[in-house]
Amino acid sequence: MSSSAFEVFNLKASFKLDERALENAYYEKSRELHPDRVARGDKSALLKSQEKSAELNRAYQTLRDPEQRLEALLRMSGRLKDEKSEEGREAIPMDLAEEFFGLQEAATEDPAIASKKVRAFIDTVARSAGADTAAIRELAARIDWESASTPENEALIGELLSRRKRRAYLLSLADNARKLGVA
């Protein structure tokens, strides 16, 4: 098994992160592990350095991106697959979904008028998804990922997952709306 992104940097599992410190740690470890350091070494040293360096690079890219970082945390606590289950179904914003179906009909009748409405709809949806993102990050920062199974954490994770589900639905709505065509 390869190490988790947090392990690579000797960090505790946490959504909160000192970006500066992470960057400096990345630079420091790169200086040590990069294949440039063994350019004239033997083949096995080179292979090992490539592997270590690749692992470091991936861990860094995972940690510095909040979305990927959260996904890593969910995966580590075994909750990423929960998202695919039915849990959080009630999170789907019915009002926006209905508005979309209305637009779909309007688009077949008069594309010109629909086009304007579609654009406004996409804006609304994007704003709503943005609010979800902020809420998701705020929740993620409150969760103690080292001991994720306390009742309090469970409740927070449940809320986070349903927010994520809502956001995913919104983004797919926006995608579909775009396909209706904005002239």
Partner 1 sequence: MSDQSGTFKELPVIGSGPDVRNAGGQDPIIGIDLGTTNSLVAIVENGVPRIIPSREGKNLVPSVVHFNADGSHEIGDAAKGLRARDPKHTVYSAKRLLGRGAADIAPIRHLLALDLEESSTSNVKIRVEGRAYTPIEISAMILRELKASAERDLGRPVEDAVVTVPAYFNDSQRQATRAAGRLAGLNVLRILNEPTAASLAYGLQKKKNGLVAVFDLGGGTFDISILKLHEGIFEVLATNGDTQLGGDDIDHAVAAWIESELRKEDRTASFNGLENRAALNEAAEELKIRLSAESTATLKAFGVTITLTREKLAELTMPVLERTRAPIETAIRDAGLGTSDLSDVVLVGGPTRLSFVRKFVEELFGRAPNFSMNPEEVVALGAAIQADILAGNNKDFLLLDVVPLSLGIETFGGAMSRLIPRNTRIPTMAKERFTTFVEGQTKVAINVFQGERELVAENRRLAEFVLGGIPPLPAGVARIEVTFLVDADGILNVAAKETYSGVEQSIEVKPMYGLTDEEVERMLAAGHAHAESDARARKLIEAKNEARTVLAATEKALPEMRGLLDPKEAAEIENLAREVRQSLDRDDLDRVLGARLALDRGTVHMAELLMSRTLESGLKNKRAADVLKKS
Q: Which of 14, 30, 68, 128 binds partner 1 (CB under 8 A)?
A: 30
48 binds partner 1 (CB under 8 A): no
Q: Which of 22, 34, 45, 66 binds partner 1 (CB under 8 A)?
A: 34
Q: Please count the CA atoms within 13 angstroms of the CA of 147 that sit on its side-chain side.
A: 3
162 binds partner 1 (CB under 8 A): no
Q: Which two tokens stand for residue 78?
A: 């075994």
Instruction: Tell me which residue of 101, 119, 120 sits closest to 181, measured CA to CA.
Output: 119
Least distance between partner 1 and beta carbon 142 (Å) = 26
Q: Is 175 exposed, middle or buried (0-12, 13-18, 19+ CB in 10 A)?
A: exposed
146 binds partner 1 (CB under 8 A): no
27 binds partner 1 (CB under 8 A): yes
98 binds partner 1 (CB under 8 A): no
Q: Which of 3, 12, 18, 51 binds partner 1 (CB under 8 A)?
A: 51
Least distance between partner 1 and beta carbon 27 (Å) = 5
Least distance between partner 1 and beta carbon 31 (Å) = 5
**Interface with partner 1 by CB under 8 A: which range of 31-39, 113-121, 126-134, 174-182?**
31-39
The residue type of 181 is: G
Q: 76 near 13, Cβ under 8 Å?
A: yes
Q: Is 149 exposed, middle or buried (0-12, 13-18, 19+ CB in 10 A)?
A: exposed
